[in-house]
Amino acid sequence: MDSIKKFSPALFGVIIFCFLLPFVNLTCSGQTVMTLTGFQLITGAEVDQSGLFNQPGMFDQKGMQDQQSGNQSVDAQPLALFAMFAAILSLAVSFIRKKTTAFICMIISALGCIFLLLLKINMDSDVAANGQGIVQLEYQFGYWFSFLLFILGAVLQWAVFREKPKSENKVVETPPTAIP
């Protein structure tokens, strides 16, 4: 179990790294419109969409780009921030090698997993309400890997919490009995 205790901080560090990876692709009719990382979901992003519709003849006969296409902003997602905060807090707590902190870290990891699941539900409902069935979300490697690592982190911390303390194996010698 000592190797699990040493492995736990690295696990939560990888979860934080996953927020740099693509989390979500926004697709329209099978074509990827934009890709957002976990940090872009946390901070919000402004994505330049002019390159997508910058083809001649798309909006008028002269090939001029429509004035309405251009930058599109994506609002910050608080649930992504909560999941990132859970990963950072789990990383900090996992350095402390006590049973009670393993339990706390297990709870925080489970919360991080729940935050990511709620983020997915929230974003799916927003796209369903505003996308009119044309726009879809595809969750990418960064999202799924961080989700699975949160689950793995909770399970590992549960194993550390359930570990029985090492008892010293003392052999108690009994005096020999007299044989009549």
User: Of the candidates 27, 109, 117, 46, which has an alpha carbon nearest to the alpha carbon of residue 80?
Assistant: 117
pLDDT at 7: 75
pLDDT tens, position by position, 13-47: 999 999 999 999 988 888 888 899 999 999 988 86
Give the Cα separation of 58 and 141 in Å (integer). 33
Residue 65's pLDDT band, with cuts at 50, 70 and 90, is very low
Is the pLDDT at 113 greater than 60? The verdict is yes
pLDDT tens, position by position, 121-168: 999 998 888 877 788 899 999 999 999 999 999 998 888 888 776 655
User: Of the candidates 28, 27, 26, which has an alpha carbon nearest to the alpha carbon of residue 36?
Assistant: 26
Give residue 146's Cα distance to chain centre: 4
Neighbours of 7 (CB within 10 A): 13
Neighbours of 131 (CB within 10 A): 15
Mean pLDDT, rounded, for 55-69: 39
Residue 71's pLDDT band, with cuts at 50, 70 and 90, is low
Most confident of the following: 56-70, 79-93, 121-135: 79-93
Please, what are the domains in the chain? 2-53+66-162 (1.20.140.150)
CA distances (Å), 105 to each of 90, 94, 158, in order? 5, 6, 9
Concatenated DSSP letters for 127-145? HHHHSTTTEEEEE-HHHHH
CA distances (Å), 111 to each of 27, 77, 82, 106, 154, in order? 29, 16, 9, 9, 9
Is the pLDDT at 101 greater than 60? The verdict is yes
pLDDT at 160: 83
